[in-house]
Amino acid sequence: MLKDHVVLVTGGGSGLGLGVARYCQAAGAEIAIMEVSADKAARLREEFGPGVLVVQGDVTRLADLQACHDAVLARHGRLDALIGTQGIFDGNVPLMDTAPERIDALFDEIMHVNVKGYVLSARVFHDLLRASEGAMVFTTSTAAYAADGGGVAYTASKGAIRSLVGQLAFEFAPHVRVNGVAPAGIANSQLRGPRALGLEAQRQSDIPKDAFLAMFQSLSLMQDLPTAEDHGPLYAFLASRHNKIMTGQTVVADQGLLNRPVLTRKA
C-alpha cells in the first residue's frame, strides 16, 4: 500500500500513533516520527533503529515543526503523507464538576494539542505535500459525533478537527488530499489526562482491561476491541496514492458504536 511513500507520523511515540507507524512501515513506507516525550523518542530509536528518523518536538510549537520539516527534507528529500495522531483527553469530567477557574487552562491545553497542533502541522508541511501531490490524515474521534465520548473540552476539540479536515481539503485542493479518521475504543490507549485538572499522570489504559472491554462490548455491535495497529489500514489507504476518490471526509471507525439500539436491547 505504501511502497515508495515517505510518511511522517506526529504523536507516534505510543498508543494509536505507534501502532499506525508500525503498520505504515510494514506496508512499505519510509517513516519518520515526531514525538514530544524524550523517553518515548529514545524508545522509538531503540525499536526502529537508525533507519527511521525520530524527531523529538512539540506539535504546538512552530519552531519544533519547522525543525522536523527540515529534518525530513534532509533525510528523505520529500514527504508523501502527514499522519497526525497526537491528542490528550479531558478525563470525561462533566462541566459542572469542573472548577470555573480551571476552564481557561483546560481549554488552552486541550485545544493547543488537539487542534492547534494540526493547524500548525498543516501549514508547515503543506509545501512538501503539494510538491508530491500528497495527503494529510488527521485523527478526530467518535466524540465529535455523539455525546459522552469525553467532556466538553475533548468533545469540542474533536469536533473542531472534524471541521478542520473539510476546510483544509477545500483550501488545499486539488494538490493535497485531507481526510480524517474517527476511532472509538482502542485497546491500551495511551491518551493522558490534562495537567489543568491534575490528571496528567492518568492514561485511558489505566482503566482495568476487563472493565473497559465489558463497557465497549455493551455498546458496540462488533465485539473485538481493536488495537492501534488495527486502525493502520485506514490511515495507510487515506495516506496513499491509491486514494484517488476521497478528500474532506472522515472515516468513522466505531465498530458499530454509534448504531446503538433504540427500540430493543440485548439480552
**Overall size of the chain counted in residues:** 267
Q: Among all chains, which residue has been given the C-alpha cell 508500525?
A: 22
On the question of a cis peptide bond just before residue 183, with omega within 30 degrees of 0, the verdict is no
CA distances from 111 to 99, 104, 229 (A): 18, 11, 26
The verdict on whether 154 is a catalytic residue reads yes
Distance, CA of 31 to CA of 50 (rounded, Å): 12
10 by Cβ neighbours in 10 Å (0-12 / 13-18 / 19+) ranks as buried
> Do 66 and 124 contact (CB within 8 A), yes or no?
yes
Catalytic residue among 23, 118, 145, 154: 154
Check residue 178 and give left, alpha or beta (phi > 0: left; psi -120 to 50: alpha): beta
Supply 56's cell numbers: 523529538
Residues recognised as catalytic: 154
